[in-house]
Amino acid sequence: MRPYGTYDETYAQDMAVCRTRLQWSILIGWLILLLSLPLFLDEWMVNFVNFIGISVIAALGLNILTGYAGQISLGHAAFIGVGAYTTGMLARYLAFPIWITLPCAALTAGLVGLIFGLPSLRIKGFYLAMATLAAQFIIPWLIINIRPDITGGAHSFRVPAATLEIGDMALTSETSLFYLIIPLAALMTFFAKNLHRSRAGRAFIAIRDNDLAAEVMGINLFTYKSLAFFICSAFAGVAGCLWAYWMRAIAVDQFSLMESIWYVGIIIVGGLGSTSGVIMGTVFIRGLDRLVKIIGPTIEGAVPQLTGPWGATAALGPMVFGLVVLLFIILEPRGLSHRWEIFKASYRLWPFSY
């Protein structure tokens, strides 16, 4: 719904993401505010924003696969791992700068994701979830066992600081990484937002809604399902690349099944198929997790009866995550983005209602 008097005169206007001057101003204002954050946040908060930025990129990829194309993946963290290890090896052994490692990580993760997505043509739903789950076991096994001399095996793999090859500039501080991660996150968000309005995006949505009908309409299921897996995993690869530079030491433990489930939870809470929902879901879930860690000891101190052998906080994080996902599925299956739409509609009509 748009305010009274706002109308389109051309097709380009109709297709624009930002349709009014006000929307442009708000967007630029938000971007300025976002990029100014390091000026008034301490390093701990900038670190958290960086974490959210990386998570947003990864979740956007999963949202394209699950939210748009209706395919499920429980191996998303493993694909992030592929991107991270690709980056690590290229940066450490070949001293490649980030502008080379980033596309390589996206491409490698995309191709690996494509392989694990191939079964999607024959199976779907629960069975596809199981097939993608295989990635979560096979990829770490390969990293640990095939060439541990190259990958570091079970040990952490040190990643050199990101370099741009501009006067030996290395991105080591959280602030410098912020200006790498956040613009990329914004760019990927723009790409994801536009994707669902493209030919491929509409094909994804058609497949999600009814794959038989989509095929009858002439949509090549194999091509588009594979494309969805490729794009999803390429996003994961980019996230993995940034994760590697951010973390500086990567290990297979960092890309566990639990992480994959967190990403599924993020897009459910945000609202499947909504780009803004992904951002909201990421901020909400990651923020909640961080909040639980902060207030956990306080709860433990206030209610000692709740404590287990070594503290109530032991199960608080996963418990809250599970509870939130459960509540959203029951009470608001369309996620935070739907709540936001309802709020906007109410705000425009306030104080009058239908």
Give the residues lining the site for other proteins (CB under 8 A). Answer: 21, 24-25, 28, 31-32, 35-36, 38-39, 42-44, 46-48, 51, 144, 152-156, 158, 161, 172-176, 178-179, 246-249, 251, 253-254, 290, 293, 296-297, 309-311, 313-315, 317
Encoded tokens for 149: 């001399």
Question: Using CA atoms, how far apart are residues 201 and 227, in angstroms rounded to an integer?
Answer: 10
Cβ of residue 120: shortest distance to other proteins, in angstroms? 29
Phi/psi of residue 249, nearest 5 degrees? -150, 120
Q: Which is nearer to other proteins, 154 or 217 (CB)?
A: 154
Phi and psi based region of residue 115 (left: phi greater than 0; alpha: psi -120 to 50; beta: remaining): alpha
Q: Which is nearer to other proteins, 178 or 229 (CB)?
A: 178
Q: Which is nearer to other proteins, 180 or 336 (CB)?
A: 180
- Quickly list DSSP for 154-209: TS-EE-PPEE-SSTT-EE-SHHHHHHHHHHHHHHHHHHHHHHTTSHHHHHHHHHHH
Q: Which is nearer to other proteins, 119 or 153 (CB)?
A: 153
Cβ of residue 122: shortest distance to other proteins, in angstroms? 31
Encoded tokens for 110: 């995309």
Angle at 344 between CA 342 and CA 346, to 5 degrees: 70
Cβ of residue 162: shortest distance to other proteins, in angstroms? 12
Question: Using CA atoms, how far apart are residues 45 and 88, in angstroms rounded to an integer?
Answer: 25
Cβ of residue 244: shortest distance to other proteins, in angstroms? 11
Encoded tokens for 33: 């505010």
Sign of CA dihedral 184, 73, 146, 144: positive
Our measurement of the distance from residue 279's CA atom to the centroid of its chain's CA atoms, rounded to an integer in Å, reads 8
Cβ of residue 39: shortest distance to other proteins, in angstroms? 5
Q: Which is nearer to other proteins, 125 or 297 (CB)?
A: 297
Cβ of residue 234: shortest distance to other proteins, in angstroms? 22
Q: Which is nearer to other proteins, 58 or 72 (CB)?
A: 58
Q: Which is nearer to other proteins, 125 or 308 (CB)?
A: 308
Question: Using CA atoms, how far apart are residues 142 and 234, in angstroms rounded to an integer?
Answer: 19
Cβ of residue 310: shortest distance to other proteins, in angstroms? 3
Cβ of residue 79: shortest distance to other proteins, in angstroms? 17
Our measurement of the distance from residue 329's CA atom to the centroid of its chain's CA atoms, rounded to an integer in Å, reads 19
Our measurement of the distance from residue 299's CA atom to the centroid of its chain's CA atoms, rounded to an integer in Å, reads 30
CA nearest 270: which of 316, 320, 225, 329?
A: 329
Q: Which is nearer to other proteins, 289 or 332 (CB)?
A: 289
Question: Using CA atoms, how far apart are residues 338 and 233, in angstroms rounded to an integer?
Answer: 26
Q: Which is nearer to other proteins, 65 or 251 (CB)?
A: 251
Question: Using CA atoms, how far apart are residues 324 and 312, in angstroms rounded to an integer?
Answer: 18
In contact, 110 and 234? CB cutoff 8 Å: yes
Question: Using CA atoms, how far apart are residues 335 and 284, in angstroms rounded to an integer?
Answer: 11
Cβ of residue 289: shortest distance to other proteins, in angstroms? 9
